[in-house]
């Protein structure tokens, strides 16, 4: 869906201002918790397209942890084709010197497997929109500027903070009161947050249709256009 996005820092501000959290040892974990909350909401905020260079050895490298949609893999200025398995037959020779049937990669348990042994791969992919924060030095996810969604994400982060042992004078995960138990607040607000996030007007639906036609979600799709995409 298409939303107006705001920084996930709004969640941090709410926790300090509205919930009077005193400790600060959880702040550096918030970006991951926000991403988890977004996945539970099953919503798709605007995705950033990036291309990063990754050095690899032993025919493999780990996929970026923030990847949502893989657009393509490029080695030696050649867009590789995805296959089920690769033969690991290329050593340090430039892949372009081999026939076209060696230009392959596969994905195995979060790793890209390559036929070339060592080198640098360019990975083009889409990730949740992020904002760099100069104060904390963190990259913080952007989230939909929808009150119900912001509240739901805040409840999720609050329950994780309490689950890590923080003692709050009002909120508790053992409370039977749905108003003072963040886990119940999160679960009870999940459906409404999902519904609000998926509500779109005609203009936004048209925009989604346009974006969907331009995404290359199929990793076997032609990746020639990827050569013009750099970080």
Residues 104 and 83 in one domain: yes
Say what the pLDDT of residue 230 is.
Answer: 42
User: Within a 13 Å sphere around the CA of 181, how many CA atoms are in the beta-carbon half?
Assistant: 10
Residues 28 and 81 in one domain: no
Residues 28 and 94 in one domain: no
Residue 218 burial (10 A CB sphere; 0-12, 13-18, 19+): exposed
Q: Of 7-21, 65-79, 141-155, which range is least confident?
A: 65-79
Phi, psi of 105 (to 5 degrees): -145, 160
- Band (94; pLDDT cuts 50, 70, 90): confident
CA angle at 103 for the pair 213 and 124, rounded to the nearest 5°: 40
Contacts of 194 (CB under 8 A, 6+ apart): 41, 42, 43
Residues 98 and 52 in one domain: yes
- Band (1; pLDDT cuts 50, 70, 90): low
Residue 82's domain spans which residues?
47-127+215-228
* Overall pTM > 0.85: no
Say what the pLDDT of residue 73 is.
Answer: 94
**What average pLDDT score do residues 98-111 get?**
80
- Greater pLDDT, 101 or 107: 107
129-186: pLDDT as tens digits: 888 878 777 888 889 999 999 999 999 999 999 999 999 999 999 999 999 999 999 9
Q: Is residue 138 part of a domain?
A: no
Q: Is residue 17 part of a domain?
A: yes
182-223: pLDDT as tens digits: 999 999 999 999 998 876 544 555 554 554 444 444 444 444
- Band (19; pLDDT cuts 50, 70, 90): very high
- Give the number of domains in the chain: 2
Q: Is residue 135 part of a domain?
A: no
Largest CA distance in the chain: 68
Q: Is residue 2 part of a domain?
A: no
Picking from 96, 104, 74, 112, the residue whose alpha carbon sits closest to that of residue 226 is 74
- Band (72; pLDDT cuts 50, 70, 90): very high
Reduce the DSSP state of residue 32 to 3 states and report it: helix
23-59: pLDDT as tens digits: 888 999 999 999 899 889 877 656 778 899 999 999 9
């Amino acid at each position: 869906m298409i939303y107006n996005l705001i920084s996930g820092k709004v969640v941090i501000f709410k926790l300090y201002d509205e919930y009077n959290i005193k400790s600060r040892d959880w702040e550096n974990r918030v970006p991951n918790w926000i991403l988890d909350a977004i996945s539970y909401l099953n919503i798709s905020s605007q995705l950033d397209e990036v291309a990063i260079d990754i050095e690899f050895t032993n025919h493999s490298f780990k996929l970026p942890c923030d990847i949502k949609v893989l657009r393509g893999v490029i080695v030696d200025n050649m867009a590789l084709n995805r296959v089920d398995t690769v033969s690991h037959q290329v050593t340090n020779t430039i892949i372009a010197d081999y026939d076209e049937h060696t230009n392959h990669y596969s994905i195995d348990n979060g790793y890209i497997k390559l036929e070339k042994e060592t080198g640098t791969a360019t990975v083009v992919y889409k990730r949740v929109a992020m904002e760099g924060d100069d104060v904390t030095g963190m990259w913080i996810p952007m989230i939909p500027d929808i009150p119900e969604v912001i509240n739901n994400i805040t409840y999720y982060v609050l329950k994780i903070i309490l689950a890590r042992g923080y003692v709050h004078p009002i909120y508790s995960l053992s409370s039977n009161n749905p108003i003072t138990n963040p886990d119940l607040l999160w679960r009870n607000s999940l459906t409404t947050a999902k519904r609000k996030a998926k509500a779109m007007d005609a203009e936004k639906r048209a925009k989604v249709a346009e974006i969907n036609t331009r995404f290359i979600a199929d990793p076997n799709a032609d990746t020639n256009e990827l050569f013009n995409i750099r970080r």
